[in-house]
Amino acid sequence: MKKCILPVILLALLSGCGKVSDASGVESRINIVSGIVEGTTRSRTTSETEAMTDGHTTGSTTSKTAGEKVSGTTTTKSKKSSVQAATRASGGNSGGSRGTTRHVPTVQRTTTTAAQPTSQTPAIDPKDYSSITFELNSSSNEIDVSREGMSGSIQVLKDVDLTEIRNTIANDPSKTINDFIVRQNDFDFDGYPDLFIIEKQDELNKTGKYYRYDPTKGIYAAWSELNGLGFEIVPNATENSLTIYNKKDTLNYEAKTFEWNEHQLLVLRRYVNQYNDGELIETVLYDENGIESSRETKDSQGNPVGGETEDPSAEDLS
**Residue 56 falls in which region: left (phi positive, over 0), alpha (psi -120 to 50) or beta:** beta
- The predicted pLDDT at position 316 comes to 56
Residue 103 has pLDDT above 80, yes or no: no
- The predicted pLDDT at position 33 comes to 40
Under the banding of pLDDT at 50, 70 and 90, the label for residue 315 is low
Find the mean pLDDT for residues 262-273. 95
Q: Say how far residue 233 (Cα) sits from the centre of its chain.
A: 42
- The predicted pLDDT at position 149 comes to 84
Find the mean pLDDT for residues 209-233. 95
Residue 279 has pLDDT above 60, yes or no: yes
Query: Exposed, middle or buried: residue 1 (CB in 10 Å: 0-12, 13-18, 19+)?
Result: exposed
Three-class HEC string of the chain: CHHHHHHHHHHHHHHHCCCEECCCCCEECEEEEEEECCCCCCCCCCCCCCEECCCCEECCEEEEEECCEEEEEEECCCCCCCCCCEEEEEECCCCCEEEEEECCCCCCCCCCCCCCCCCCCCCCCCCCCCCEEEEECCCCCCEEEEECCCCCCCEEECCCCCHHHHHHHHHCCCCCHHHHEECCCCCCCCCCCCEEEEEEECCCCEEEEEEEEECCCCEEEECHHHHCCCECEEEECCCCEEEEEEECCCCCEEEEEEEECCCCCEEEEEEEEEECCCCEEEEEEECCCCCEEEEEEEECCCCECCCCCCCCCCCCCC
Read off the pLDDT of residues 133-181 as tens digits, 9 standing for 90 and up: 999 998 888 999 999 988 889 999 999 999 999 999 999 999 999 999 9
- 212 pairs with which residues across the strands? 221
- The predicted pLDDT at position 248 comes to 95
Residue 271's identity, in one-letter code, is Y
**What contacts 74, CB < 8 A, 6 or more positions away?**
30, 31, 33, 61
Greater confidence, 10 or 312? 10
What span, in angstroms and rounded, lies between the C-alpha atoms of 203 and 196?
Answer: 18
What span, in angstroms and rounded, lies between the C-alpha atoms of 265 and 252?
Answer: 29
Q: Are 256 and 244 in contact (CB under 8 A)?
A: yes
Q: What is the pTM of this model?
A: 0.59
Name the pairing type of β-strands 195-201 and 280-286: unpaired
Mean pLDDT of the chain: 75
- 272 pairs with which residues across the strands? 255, 283
